[in-house]
Amino acid sequence: EALDEPEEGWTVALLNDRGERKATGSYYTPDYVVKYIVEATVGPLLHEAVEGARSDDERVEGVLALNVLDPSMGSGHFLVEVTEGIARFLVEMGVAPDELSADGEAELAYWKRRVAQSCVYGVDANPLAVDLAKLSLWLATVAKDRPLSFLDHHLRTGNSLVGARIAEIQPGGGKKQKKAKADDGAQLSMLEDDAFLRSVSNAVGSIWLIEESPAETLEEVREQERLYTRLREGLTRRYARLADLATATNFGVDVDRSLWKPLTDYAAGRAPYAPPQFALWLEESETLAAEKHFFHWELEFPEVFFDRQGRPLGHDAGFDAVVGNPPYVRQESLGDFKPYLAEAYPEVYHGVADLYVYFYEQGLRQLRRGGWMSYIVTNKWLRAGYGEPLRGYFASEGVLEEIVDFGHAPIFEDADVFPCIVLLRKLGREESDQDRGVRVVEFPREALNADIAAYVEENAHTVPKKRFGKSAWSLETSAVDDLMEKIRQNGVPLAEFAGVKPLYGIKTGLNEAFLIDTLTKERLVREDPRSAEVIKPYLRGQDIKRWSPEWRGLWMIFARRGIDVDAFPAIKRHLEQFRERLEPKPKDWSGGRWPGRKPGPYKWYEIQDSVDYWQMFEQPKIVYQVIQFHPQYGLDMSGVLSNDKTFFVPAHDGWLLAVLNSPLIWWHNWRYLGHMKDEALNPAGWRIEKLPIALPTDEARGEAEEAVGRLISRTRSGQEARRDTLNWLRVEFGIEKPGQKLEDFAALGPDAFVEEVRKRRPRGEGRLTPGTLRDLKSGYAEMAEPVRQARTEAANLERRLSDLVNDAYGLTDEDVDLLWKTAPPRMPRLA
């Protein structure tokens, strides 16, 4: 039974095991993103294809001549959208195909089939993905009483990044070979080989016959299959042996260069006999080709790179558009692949670049001059050091048109990868884009349901082309960039201002052994009073509060390097129960998974990190979190330790604390610090030590020091009130888990407070009596009102501090207005 054609087309998602998807970096791209990318890249090409055409036939020919590639096609989502978009364009042109038969096949269905076999190209290293892409396109092009389209000629299995270029087929063909002087007979120029050119000419002719056939009958589809089989035998398989051999030399197949000419003659079938070593080299290369999915673009898609006579197309060679969502594979997983990437992609290679970087260079390579490309990838390369070569490559080879930065918006399910869409063209002949601007928009998560094109049109701003060179790219408006520069210019690096650098909290290597509660601490001290000498109070990241941290009664066994553990028998007995998991891994360990800690020069009973600066913890210090959701810097005067979820600056400086907690610095840091999952900031030590701190006047410092002191006092009073209230609720009402609302009880009204107490009381406690309700409301009023008054005072103090900080950086009223108009999430509000 025939399938009814869906109104909006079909797509099959590649939903295999989630672990495999994560391992391969595959994420299903949402439909609205795919539609936007395809429209942005293919749309201009469609209008260009029909411009100047004098007849319907010329317009159709121009459109069907377009070649659109997805080099990591997955299940074919982008290719289906390309097919839908081009087919609808042809229908809207009003061109009725002559081949439409009397049985009434719909125009759209007809054009989808023609477009699918003429215009769309896809490659994927996963054979399953290729099969699913074919299925997606079959479902998208299914038509009543028509056979399924032949798609093998355009959808191929292979690794888009690994293969040989025809002009460079020689041992180790790459940048070294291009620089090397070729010996006589050591280099085969396939482009000058008559047999190769004839094979290419025949192949291109076969592809044209396949694409021009509407394939309305099963016999016509079988004829397409026969043509493609002959093509594969006459070109791809025959010359792929040479290309495989050239590529394999990059993966350890050691070919004697002096034998390259006779070896290639043998591989191409021009020499029937050869030494046994030749067969061995070819066998090794074929094994590697199958294992690593070598893919040689010009042999797989000859019609894209050669004309009907087998001659290279020169600047016109390549695809008209490249689209897709390259795999999200981190550089740590590339391993032995990196030497090949360094050789094959010298323009963009960086030792810590992720895989998508190389898809960018490959995509631009496979474009014709003037062609369009757009991927959705992470935005990290826009600013990261490893993105510098790629940014420079784009600046020299591409014409940036548009950047849509989604930041933390959840485009992909279960993956906060900071996606962005970059739209660019390959630089055309004699084209210069030095005076062009780049359209830029930052797309917030709350706008995700909006139409991307409409949002971009309404909210995009233009950034001068000159700002997109090798250096980190800013997507901000010129006004914001100017303000960032003013802040930088009016401050000195924090390390210079404070005379110290930020230091990291203590990483124990096994928190279960070294981090204990008060009951365990008291037991160990009872067993041996000397235990108190090495048990120290410590702060967690979650204990860091704005202005003043709050210790939660937790302790660390600070068994630092060099401790005589036998002098502390109770501590030793406690740690002994974790000994297997505490042992450092031997450097020569080869017995599988090690149950203990990582290798290092520490004893089993010592904390993992040396913490040579441990005495700095005893000084007054400004502490802050490793993962920042809010600007929370606090002054600790008690000398407590802190764990590895904290940083600290050994300084007792109220002005510095005021600057770090200011709206201005949070605004700056949102644009300066690295971003983490869920919109958190990463205040890495090397970044914070360079943070620009403005030098205050003596008057401003004095006023700030007084205000900060009062804020610390009010904060500690509020923390004490919270502890007293929660303790009262625990003792009188049995509430062990108060929840966020009771933690912030002063923000509740009396009725809401009572209702929350009702919810949090243990089950079976019975109803609250009228007398108890009166006591609850009375107690609430007594405790909440002072906290509210303190918060009002704190808000006034923070407003004044913010003004002092803004003045110190030289901000004008217009600068302050811009600061708040472009405020990032969780900017400290001063109301």
Q: Residues 160-218: pLDDT tens digits? A: 999 998 887 754 444 444 444 334 334 446 666 777 878 888 888 888 788 777 777 78
Its pTM stands at: 0.81
State the pLDDT at residue 101: 54
Q: Tens of pLDDT along 563-574? A: 999 999 999 999
CB-based contacts of 731, cutoff 8 Å, min separation 6: none
Q: Inform me whether the pLDDT recorded for 831 exceeds 80.
A: no
State the pLDDT at residue 201: 84
State the pLDDT at residue 158: 96
Q: Inform me whether the pLDDT recorded for 640 exceeds 90.
A: yes
State the pLDDT at residue 345: 94
State the pLDDT at residue 660: 98
Position with higher pLDDT, 2 vs 495: 495
Question: Of the segments 251-255, 263-267, 278-282, 595-599, which one has the largest average pLDDT value?
Answer: 595-599
Percent with pLDDT over 90 in the chain = 60
Q: Indicate the pLDDT class of residue 98, thresholds 50, 70 and 90.
A: low
Q: Inform me whether the pLDDT recorded for 391 exceeds 90.
A: yes
Position with higher pLDDT, 545 vs 447: 545
Question: Strands 674-675, 681-682: parallel, antiparallel or unpaired by DSSP?
Answer: antiparallel
State the pLDDT at residue 372: 97
Nearest to 312 by CA among 426, 188, 206, 166: 166
Q: How many residues does the chain have?
A: 831
Q: Indicate the pLDDT class of residue 418, thresholds 50, 70 and 90.
A: confident
Q: What end-to-end distance do the CA atoms of the chain give, in Å? A: 68
Q: Inform me whether the pLDDT recorded for 597 exceeds 80.
A: yes
Q: Please tell me the least confidently modeled range out of 78-82, 463-467, 640-644.
A: 463-467
CB-based contacts of 326, cutoff 8 Å, min separation 6: 71, 72, 355, 356, 359, 360, 375, 377
Q: Tens of pLDDT along 55-91? A: 988 999 999 999 999 999 999 999 999 999 999 999 9
State the pLDDT at residue 6: 41
Q: Please tell me the least confidently modeled range out of 8-12, 36-40, 108-112.
A: 8-12
* Amino acid letter, 478: S
Position with higher pLDDT, 727 vs 235: 727
State the pLDDT at residue 3: 38
CA dihedral 250, 252, 253, 255 (to 10 degrees): 70
Residue whose pair of structure tokens reads 């790179």 in the numeric block: 305
Output the CA torsion sign for 250, 255, 261, 262: negative
Helices (H) and strands (E) in the chain, counts: 32, 21
State the pLDDT at residue 432: 64
State the pLDDT at residue 206: 81
Helix H or strand E segment including 731: helix 698-733
Provide the mean pLDDT of the chain: 88
Q: Tens of pLDDT along 316-329? A: 999 999 999 999 88
Q: Tens of pLDDT along 724-765? A: 999 999 999 999 999 999 999 999 999 999 999 999 999 878
Position with higher pLDDT, 251 vs 712: 712
d(CA 474, CA 187): 46
Residue whose pair of structure tokens reads 């940083």 in the numeric block: 647
State the pLDDT at residue 667: 98
State the pLDDT at residue 210: 80
Position with higher pLDDT, 384 vs 256: 384
State the pLDDT at residue 333: 75
Q: Indicate the pLDDT class of residue 434, thresholds 50, 70 and 90.
A: low
Q: Indicate the pLDDT class of residue 811, thresholds 50, 70 and 90.
A: very high
Q: Please tell me the least confidently modeled range out of 106-115, 223-232, 415-424, 756-765.
A: 223-232
Residue range 339-359: mean pLDDT, rounded: 93
Q: Inform me whether the pLDDT recorded for 627 exceeds 90.
A: yes
Q: Indicate the pLDDT class of residue 466, thresholds 50, 70 and 90.
A: confident
Position with higher pLDDT, 658 vs 446: 658
Q: Please tell me the least confidently modeled range out of 178-192, 213-227, 698-712.
A: 178-192
